[in-house]
Structure 1
Amino acid sequence: MLDRLTSMTVFVQTARYGSFAAAAEKLNMSPQMVAKHIEALEQRVATRLLNRTTRKQSLTVFGRLYLDRCQSVLAEVAAADSLVQSSHAKPQGRLRINAPVTFGRHELVPLVTRFLDRYPEIDVELTLSDRLIDPMEEGYEAVVRLGPLQKDLALVARPLQSYRLVACASPAYLLAHGTPQLPSDLINHECLGFAPWVSDLSRNWHFEQDGQVTEVPVSGRLHVNDWEALRAAARDGFGVLIGYERALAGDLASGLLVRVLPTYEGPVRPIHLLYAADRQMTLKLRCFVDHLMEALG
């Protein structure tokens, strides 16, 4: 008789990757064995879980409901295993993490160094990139993702403190071009563009006051894929910058940059910590998740 938890794992992977062959490759077993596990589950629940075609398998209506239950069961099993391990083991080994560049540089790195001080037998490989990645495909145990999420049943998404943006410019720029009093005034200003952002945020800035949201179509001649370079351009007096509030705190405090439209709330972007839902959580990952949620959850 096939192990039911193994069959559930096979079912979850097949639903994620869309075919027996793809799931087999990920699980290091034959497509025939994958099919046997799926058939065993279908016999147990007495209904079809997957619609089969020559190339791809898709979930039935009941299969979608059953998938949610399987993921919950596997997550609970992983948590139980992790609890047992933590009772007699120390967190150790390498932890691979990915995060957006600006958030990583200004917010995450200080938290990671404190984490490493706390757990001397862990080492961290932190990759900072604004590219959208699949943590499971690229071998990351945890990923910090900025912006709206698409539902991914294979990932747990833990919300972090919102990523707040503020608009600012150098005193020299404001002296030469005037200080915007209303969001609509930005239409007549040189607005610096961060290339990796989606088109909506790079071309339209949103401001809120007393519950009223104003969307401003902005334009500018400079778009850069590195936010630090844009901040340098703003310091040099070239235009108005919108950026992560915590990353700009030092420049705003020193007067190198001045916040514009201070009575308005700038755009707020969601940010989440992602990790696999159906993979056994290692003790080092559990410690990191707890550490990050304690600071930013």
Structure 2
Amino acid sequence: MNKLQAMEVFVQVVDAGGFTRASENMKLPKATVSTLIQSLETALSAKLLNRTTRHMSVTAEGAAYYDRCLRILSEVREAEESLSRNRRSPSGRLRVDAPTGLASEIIVPALPDFIEQYPDIQLELGCSDRQVDLVEEGVDCAIRGGRQLADSSLIARRVGTMHYVTCASPAYLKRHGHPMHPNDLVHHRCVNYFSARTGKMFDWYFKQDGEQVQVSLSSHVALSDSCAYTAAGLAGLGIVQMADFLMAPMLADGRLVPILDTWTNEPLPIYMVYPQNRHLQAKVGVFVEWIARLFSNHSTLH
């Protein structure tokens, strides 16, 4: 038995909450994962996991061993990377998750630069407005926006700021007129955005000369995808409020018209997040730094 491999498999099983998900994340047969755990328990003369056909839990001894495995594996990775960092560029599979709009409009067009700098990294970029579970889904790091990050188990580094614009199509404004104050929005058709994970509708925020307004709006249409949300505004379904980097091309050519433009919207911080129980591998570190530089050089994200 390869003891280090068995430790890595054990940590993956605990993090993923089961053998099936761990085997998928590590790209190992489920039988191999099960055999390694059994061999590890035999070598330690200790039961690490309680498992039935439907449920798995960690024993008290398993929990203590899990913590030690994390430290040992982290030190091994750090030792390996400290020797190889100066000899070769970071390498290996890197799984990243990013919101659809940021991925399609900002990150993907800039990726040739990242690939040229780090040709040995195999990047897998998941694009979704759904908030993924990094540990359960085997994601190394993710880009998230929010004033408060719900998952305290993640390390978060702020890499940018997202600004919002409120706008509508010329056809909608011709039919319904321009609101003059955020409170006027209750008399308009507005398109809401909701969380794909929780179903919660997001309020709209405005600020002007010290006056702050938070508006909860009813709507005929609500969406959970930024690209579909933008399309709803272009289709004249109502007034929309979305990140200005997404709306900029449509505002520039007149397909959308800004409204309430003397009011500012509360900016949304953007973070790179990754699990805190993992040593920051070189491939993750260079991607985080690259994203931070990319956003800092973008006119609307700093």
In the superposition, the TM-score normalised over structure 2's length comes to: 0.71
Amino acid at match of 2:230: R
In structure 1, the residue matched to 2:175 is 176
Q: Report the alpha carbon displacement of residue 80 of structure 1 after superposing the two structures with TM.
A: 5.5
Structure 2 residue matching 1:242: 3-state secondary structure: strand
In structure 2, the residue matched to 1:142 is 141
User: How many residues get paired?
Assistant: 279
Q: Which ranges of structure 1 fall in alignment gaps of 5 or more residues?
A: 39-54
In structure 2, the residue matched to 1:244 is 243
Q: Which segment drifts farther, 251-260 or 277-286?
A: 277-286
Q: Report the alpha carbon displacement of residue 189 of structure 1 after superposing the two structures with TM.
A: 0.7
State how far apart, in whole Å, the 2-side matches of 1:125 and 1:96 are.
5
Q: Does 1:123 align with 2:122?
A: yes
State how far apart, in whole Å, the 2-side matches of 1:119 and 1:222 are.
43
- The answer to whether the 8 Å contact 2:129/2:225 transfers is no
- The answer to whether the 8 Å contact 1:75/1:277 transfers is no
Structure 2 residue matching 1:140: 3-state secondary structure: coil
State how far apart, in whole Å, the 2-side matches of 1:113 and 1:289 are.
16
- The answer to whether the 8 Å contact 1:111/1:292 transfers is no
| Distance change (3 Å), C-alpha of 1:237 and 1:82 | same
Deviations 1:159-199 (A, max 9, x none): 12122222111122212211111110111111012343666
| Distance change (3 Å), C-alpha of 1:213 and 1:82 | farther
In structure 1, the residue matched to 2:261 is 262
In structure 1, the residue matched to 2:288 is 289
Deviations 1:2-36 (A, max 9, x none): x9x9xx999998997899xx99x9x9798899999
In structure 2, the residue matched to 1:208 is 207
- The answer to whether the 8 Å contact 2:194/2:200 transfers is no
Q: Does 1:276 align with 2:295?
A: no
| Distance change (3 Å), C-alpha of 1:221 and 1:293 | same
State how far apart, in whole Å, the 1-side matches of 2:240 and 2:9 are.
48
State how far apart, in whole Å, the 2-side matches of 1:283 and 1:92 are.
8
In structure 1, the residue matched to 2:107 is 108
Deviations 1:235-269 (A, max 9, x none): 23231011111111111112211111112122433
Structure 1 residue matching 2:230: 3-state secondary structure: helix
Q: Which ranges of structure 2 fall in alignment gaps of 5 or more residues?
A: 23-29, 45-54, 297-302
State how far apart, in whole Å, the 1-side matches of 2:34 and 2:152 are.
23
State how far apart, in whole Å, the 1-side matches of 2:130 and 2:199 are.
15
In structure 2, the residue matched to 1:152 is 152
- The answer to whether the 8 Å contact 2:160/2:292 transfers is no
Please provide the CA RMSD for this pair: 4.1
Deviations 1:197-244 (A, max 9, x none): 666543x21112234321112122112343323322322323101111
| Distance change (3 Å), C-alpha of 1:201 and 1:34 | farther
Matches within 5 A, 1:67-106: 78-79=77-78, 81-106=80-105
